């Protein structure tokens, strides 16, 4: 039976979409092994935190010395007195205290003016661009992280745990050609359903028992079902061994990052983890909601960093915090902000070279009401691919993108 991972991507077992694997031809395995040589030399982990909806970077990192900031935002501007000092030109939003402390400790880098040419203000299209690292109208079939995962050795009939999504569905960034990155919540559901005693569970258990003879369709499903059970067992085992005194606040992002720490503590060979934090599409009544969001973000990131240190993993993990676009420079009539373009992002971790990269975009020279980017987001990707993950950027990105001083030498 000739089958590919993509042919089984949509396979559903009792209503649950799950990951599937098949053997690759020896030629492709040899090619994959050759391409993975550099990427497989380290055990570094990249955790991506996506701020869904378009975070207001102008009220995140505040140019408090610029009078135009207060003119453009008469009700939303954060006062100089309220903002937390970052340097002589910039202030942190007051809700970002824990992040500011990590910055002062040299564990956070801020990249300013990040974006891409001809920015798109559509959530869907802009996320598509960030996830695929491509501005081409013909959308690549793989995401940028999926291309990285494709450089790693293929683990035969095992579900690969090199890339994991802690979000509800598989992010486009993790879509790949040779492997399928599991969605942890789906593996959890799959494993918990296995403990059920209903008829469907009995059928799944029957399918998952090994059989002999020629590999027929039912045998392939049986094989893949067993692989998914093993993957779920590995994650559950990692979670059961996790011990930490770090307290996380009870919110969605904190829960995802705590689960990330649990998984990483199991040392399962994970290289990529993705989490998300929603609610940043602040078109109206932004002040309170944005403060709450940034408070959740900062406290969750601080707990995660503390947890990594306690687990002895601080030197192995870098976190990228980004959003699909920023907000417009001026506030709207509903005390909110609309979709914009250039934005700031954070890179966090013990291996990070702390500081500010790039100038804050000018508020005098706007592009159709938006701050104009000067740093292509793919420069961030190229830096993390080559400087952290050990993967040649040319194997993932189309074009040359200068690297940035975001990591320690």
Residue 397 confidence (pLDDT): 98
What is the average pLDDT across 239-259?
Answer: 95
Residue 1 confidence (pLDDT): 38
pLDDT-based confidence at residue 267 (cuts at 50, 70, 90): very high
Domain 5-395 = CATH 3.40.720: yes
Q: What are the structure tokens assigned to 330, written together?
A: 């001026």
> 298 in helix, strand or coil?
helix
Residue 226 confidence (pLDDT): 76
Q: 314 φ, ψ to 5°?
A: -60, -35
Residue 223 confidence (pLDDT): 66
Beta strands 343-348 and 317-323 are antiparallel
Q: What are the structure tokens assigned to 312, written together?
A: 């002895």
pLDDT-based confidence at residue 168 (cuts at 50, 70, 90): confident
User: What is the C-alpha to C-alpha distance for residues 112 and 323, in angstroms, rounded to an integer?
Assistant: 13
User: Nearest Cα to 344, choosing from 361, 363, 366, 367?
Assistant: 361
User: What is the C-alpha to C-alpha distance for residues 386 and 366, in angstroms, rounded to an integer?
Assistant: 33
What is the average pLDDT across 263-274?
Answer: 95
Q: Looking at the predicted structure, is the pLDDT value of residue 386 above 90?
A: yes
User: Nearest Cα to 108, choosing from 293, 298, 389?
Assistant: 298
pLDDT-based confidence at residue 222 (cuts at 50, 70, 90): low
pLDDT-based confidence at residue 341 (cuts at 50, 70, 90): very high
What is the average pLDDT across 358-382?
Answer: 97
- Please report, for the chain, the start and end positions of each structural domain, with discontinuous segments joined by +: 5-395
- Of 60-64, 88-92, 188-192, 247-251, the one with minimum mean pLDDT is 188-192
User: What is the C-alpha to C-alpha distance for residues 69 and 57, in angstroms, rounded to an integer?
Assistant: 12
pLDDT-based confidence at residue 32 (cuts at 50, 70, 90): very low
Q: Looking at the predicted structure, is the pLDDT value of residue 210 above 60?
A: no
pLDDT in tens, 371-385: 999 999 999 999 999
């Amino acid at each position: 039976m000739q089958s590919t991972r993509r042919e089984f991507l949509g396979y559903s077992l009792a209503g649950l979409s799950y990951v599937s694997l098949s053997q690759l031809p020896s030629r492709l395995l040899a090619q994959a092994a050759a391409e993975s040589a550099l990427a497989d030399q380290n055990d570094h982990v990249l955790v991506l935190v996506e701020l869904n909806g378009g975070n207001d970077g102008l009220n995140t990192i505040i140019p408090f010395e610029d009078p135009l900031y207060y003119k453009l935002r008469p009700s939303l501007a954060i006062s100089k007195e309220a903002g937390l000092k970052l340097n002589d030109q910039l202030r942190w939003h007051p809700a970002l205290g824990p992040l500011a402390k990590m910055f002062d400790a040299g564990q956070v880098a801020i990249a300013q003016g990040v974006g891409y040419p001809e920015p798109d203000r559509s959530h869907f299209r802009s996320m598509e661009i960030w996830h695929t690292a491509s501005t081409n109208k013909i959308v690549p079939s793989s995401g940028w992280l999926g291309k990285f995962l494709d450089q790693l050795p293929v683990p035969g009939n095992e579900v690969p745990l090199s890339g994991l999504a802690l979000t509800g569905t598989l992010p486009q960034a993790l879509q790949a050609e040779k492997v399928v990155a599991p969605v942890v919540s789906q593996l959890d559901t799959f494993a918990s359903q296995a403990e059920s005693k209903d008829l469907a569970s009995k059928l799944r258990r029957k399918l998952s028992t090994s059989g002999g003879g020629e590999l027929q369709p039912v045998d392939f499903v049986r094989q893949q079902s067993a692989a998914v059970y093993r993957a779920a067992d590995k994650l559950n085992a990692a979670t059961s061994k996790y011990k930490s005194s770090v307290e996380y606040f009870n919110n969605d992002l904190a829960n995802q990052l705590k689960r990330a720490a649990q998984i990483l503590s199991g040392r399962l060979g994970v290289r990529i983890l993705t989490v998300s934090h929603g609610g940043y599409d602040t078109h109206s009544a932004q002040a309170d909601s944005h403060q709450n969001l940034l408070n959740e973000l900062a406290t969750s990131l601080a707990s995660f960093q503390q947890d990594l240190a306690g687990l002895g993993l601080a030197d192995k993990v870098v976190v990228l915090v980004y959003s699909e676009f920023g907000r417009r420079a001026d506030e709207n009539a509903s005390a909110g902000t609309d979709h914009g373009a250039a934005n700031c992002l954070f890179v966090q971790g013990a291996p990070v070279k702390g500081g500010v990269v790039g100038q804050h975009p000018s508020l005098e020279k706007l592009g159709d009401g938006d701050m104009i980017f000067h740093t292509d987001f793919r420069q961030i990707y190229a830096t993390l691919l080559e400087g952290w993950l050990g993967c040649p950027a040319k194997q993932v990105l189309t074009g040359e993108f200068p690297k940035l001083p975001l990591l320690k030498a």
